[in-house]
Structure 1
Amino acid sequence: MQPVILSPSLQLWLNLSVTIGAETVVGHTTDGRRVLYPITGGSVQGVGGISGRVLPGGFDNYCQGSNGIGSMDARYALQLDDGAVLLVHNRGFLHFSTEGAALEAAGVWPIPAELYHCRCQPEIRTGAGRYQWVNHQLFVGTVHYPLAERVEIAIYRLA
């Protein structure tokens, strides 16, 4: 008898609108060009009426590799309206097309979404009883940059 292999599905769970402060350029390192982007706040909306805010104080330790692919490594916290706090460690990749890279280098925003590809894998932890299930779930997400000072992140639960 053949084992039944079920295909996973994606379920949208949260939408984040994250505000970003002025960059701090670290410079060229052995990994590539590093830049720190402070996370200054934002909002959270989710399924089942979840809402809240992105707490200020996090940051994205971004590295632009010599191959043109950027890697995100962001840590921040979400405080939901019911008082729960979710800790997020969000890693991912950003790849611009040639045209998108030229616009980004020139400081032109917004860059049309078809000129870049950005995906992430948020790891979420909490101690809040209602949300403890997130401690053992896999999440993936999409990242959109409508403005230089804001990113939109859609977080999907892998079910």
Structure 2
Amino acid sequence: MTEQHPFMPRLEHAFSISIELSRPFWVKPTSRGETRAAIYASSGVVEGPRLNGRVIPMSGGDFPLTRANGVIDFDARYLLEADDGAIIYLENRGYRWARNTEIAEAMRRNEDTAFNDYYMRVTPKFDAPAGPHEWMSKHVFVGVAEKLPGANRIHYFVVL
């Protein structure tokens, strides 16, 4: 049995965001020969033990770059509104790639795929106002995402 590293971080589920997405707008190929998209956050719900609220519709979106090797490099920014009315800025960076070309094509067609058919992880940063949500601006998070037809669901874990 392998001994656990003494500095191994603990993760705690903080909340999940289910986000409905607009249709993509494409820049292809870009001057670098890759593909860029703009996909806006049309609506969404935030639910969890540490935060509940909504995604403010059309407050931002994702501007992913698709590399020649099929890896999608996320750069998403949008606003959340907590149930108490606090506005929280979210910046997500991360990657998605499919386990094979057939799955990549199904995802490109916006079809349902099994969670273990792809890798989709994000590293968010939050800018929250002083007060009850300030903890979000003081912690590191990781997000494990699900690609759904026309939507994403991201499960955020705070690193303790």
Residues 6-58 of structure 1 show CA distances to partners (whole Å, capped at 9, x for unaligned) of: 3211100011000101110111221621011111111010115x321001121
TM-score scaled to structure 2, two decimals? 0.89
1:100 counterpart residue number: 103
Task: Give unpaired runs (5+ residues) of structure 1.
Answer: none
The SS at the match of 2:28 is strand
Which runs of structure 2 are paired with 1:38-49 in the superposition (5 Å)?
38-48=40-50
Provide the aligned C-alpha RMSD in A. Answer: 1.6
Asked if 1:151 is matched to 2:152, the reply is yes
The number of equivalent residue pairs is 153
CA shift, 1:61, in A, is 0.2
CA shift, 1:124, in A, is 0.6
CA shift, 1:71, in A, is 0.6
Which runs of structure 2 are paired with 1:55-74 in the superposition (5 Å)?
55-57=56-58, 58-74=60-76
2:15 counterpart residue number: 14
Instruction: Go from structure 1 to structure 2 and tell me whether the alpha carbon gap of 1:108 and 1:22 turns closer, same or farther (over 3 Å shift).
Output: closer
C-alpha separation in 1, matches of 2:130 and 2:42: 23
Check the 8 A contact 1:94/1:117 in 2, yes or no. Answer: yes
Structure that is richer in strand per residue: 1
Asked if 1:133 is matched to 2:135, the reply is yes
Check the 8 A contact 1:84/1:128 in 2, yes or no. Answer: no
Task: Give unpaired runs (5+ residues) of structure 2.
Answer: none
| One-letter identity of the residue aligned with 2:89 | L
| One-letter identity of the residue aligned with 2:71 | I
Instruction: Go from structure 1 to structure 2 and tell me whether the alpha carbon gap of 1:37 and 1:91 turns closer, same or farther (over 3 Å shift).
Output: same
| One-letter identity of the residue aligned with 1:63 | L
Residues 74-96 of structure 1 show CA distances to partners (whole Å, capped at 9, x for unaligned) of: 00111011111111000100011
Instruction: Go from structure 1 to structure 2 and tell me whether the alpha carbon gap of 1:128 and 1:31 turns closer, same or farther (over 3 Å shift).
Output: farther
1:110 counterpart residue number: 112
TM-score scaled to structure 1, two decimals? 0.90
